[in-house]
Amino acid sequence: MARVMLVRPRWSDMDSFRHVNHAKMVTLLEEARVPMLFADAGKAGLSEFAKGIVVVSLTVNYHAPVVVNGEDIRIEMTMRELKFSSFTLGYKVHNGPSESDRVAVTASTRLAPYDTATERPRHLSDAERDFLQAHLEEDTA
């Protein structure tokens, strides 16, 4: 099962066309992944993610508008790819809190752990890889 986060779009996330604009959608995706990569990883004794992780690439595909209506949206995250120095998360964004709500957005972010002291990407530790594998099932699509 995918990792599910409920995120509530804000009124200010809406553009003049009355739907969540691209920049705000990217922020909502970030709000879905940050609790896992920072808080949950920290509770598991993995503090390095919070010290530095960068987005290497981002793809967002829109299938329907996401509207701000006072409800949460459902964001499902899965592991698309896990390499030694990066990992790719896949997202399905439902236009509401339920799994039965329409998928409005699909997206992916390739992330790399980053060492701020050396200003270079670093390898994932075995513990970080195990954490990611345990918290995100692989995407079979």
* Distance of alpha carbon 64 from alpha carbon 50, whole angstroms: 33
Q: What would the mean pLDDT of 122-141 be, rounded to a whole number?
A: 83
With a pLDDT cut of 90, the percent of the chain lying above it is 72
Confidence band of 140 (pLDDT split at 50, 70, 90): low
Going by pLDDT thresholds of 50, 70 and 90, the confidence category of residue 139 is low
Q: Sign of the CA dihedral 1, 29, 53, 139?
A: positive
Q: What is the pTM of this model?
A: 0.90
- The confidence score (pLDDT) of residue 141 equals 55
Q: How far apart are CA 17 and CA 64, in angstroms?
A: 13
Q: What is the pLDDT of residue 71?
A: 92
Give the containing element (helix H, strand E) for 60: strand 53-62
Spatial neighbors of 16 by CB under 8 A, at least 6 apart, are: none
What are 5-42's pLDDT values in tens digits? 999 999 888 888 888 999 999 999 999 999 989 998 98
End-to-end CA distance of the chain: 13
Q: Which domains does the chain have, with CATH numbers?
A: 3-135 (3.10.129.10)
Please tell me the predicted confidence (pLDDT) of residue 112: 96
